[in-house]
Amino acid sequence: MHCTRGLGQHSSQHASLASSLHRTRLARKCSSKVAAFTLGNSRFSTSELLLHAQKRVLVTGGSGLVGRAIQHVINEEGGGKDGEEWIFLSSKDADLMNKEETQAVFQKHKPTHVIHLAAMVGGLFKNMRVNLDFWRNNIYINDNVLQAAHEVDAVKVVSCLSTCIFPDKTTYPIDETMIHNGPPHASNFGYSYAKRMIDVHNRAYFEQYGRSYTSVIPTNVFGPHDNFNIEDGHVLPGLIHKAYRAQKEGKPLVVWGSGTPRRQFIYSLDLARLVLWVVRDYNEVEPIILSVGEEEEVSIKEAAEAVVRALDFKEEVVYDTDKSDGQFKKTASNAKLMRYLPNFAFTPFEKALKETCDWFVANYDNARK
């Protein structure tokens, strides 16, 4: 811990230059190292393999927020393609913290592609309570999944990270080159470091085995099938649940903190569409931020006001400033994504929030909370 902090704070210009040089070398190697694959006696280019081979895509965390969104895009929007088989795992299928169970489920399905969403997750206050659990459990899950994918010769793995992996003390906007430039915010350092290590994992699998394992970094995800737990959930689903309950009880909506911190929110269905693109067409080992633009960042106060409008909340809104605000902002650049997909249209925040609130109200009895 102390060593990492020291490296992050000492000579940031030198660290950035070294990181840039390493990533340039890695990108150059990647273009030649994963240019072709051998299947039996035949040799395929990467594009030929992805276009013509049968894809068996295994999604860990398939019953969670993003997993359900991918299912929706595949099944309801016609997002699947010929030659693709989709397998969505839940915690009932295997305990991914257990090496043997993870190996067994991968041997059973033998995926060619993996979308790794499974994780121990939680909001600010849960992270602050059990940072060690977040570190240990996520390290176990990630190591088991990536190694099991390697053992079944999976062609590609796309893991889901989070913007909390970025340094707390940094310049904004943050981008993909800045992940390892310093320690993350102290409030959720266990989860942040565990997620950050996936990037190290991916680069190591590439360097040693030529594996095309990569990661995506979404900003704050929300949507149907989220975890709406008030104590342990993320800020937006927590606000939705609190406002719904306060409205039923005729009480004020109590927002934890000052309302001043700022966040970029991405709708789970938009993220799902982008993840499908990454699986099929993004061929870098280096991670990519999946986010709305910097101009779409909103304060927690503005988010709370949007929830009030979406639910037609009529009571008072108060801010409990005795509660921690957490990190003030994590403004992320989506410039890399826009270079690849300049015409991608994100769902407007208010529309996505209204759809999420409507889903929560309609599914209140069965929603996670």
Q: In 3-state terms, what secondary structure has residue 274?
A: helix
CA dist 346 to 107, 354, 369, Å?
Answer: 37, 15, 27
And the tokens for 41?
């006696």
* CA nearest neighbour of 226 among 236, 218, 216: 236
Reported for 95-98, long-range contacts at CB under 8 A and 24+ positions apart, including other chains, are 96/60, 96/140, 96/141, 96/144, 96/145, 97/137, 97/140, 97/141, 97/144, 98/144
Q: Is 191 a catalytic residue?
A: yes
Alpha carbon distance 202, 287 (integer Å): 9
Given the residues 140, 191, 193, 282, the one annotated as active site: 191
Alpha carbon distance 165, 89 (integer Å): 25
Q: What is the dihedral sign for C-alpha 331, 333, 338, 341?
A: negative
Residues labelled as active-site residues: 191
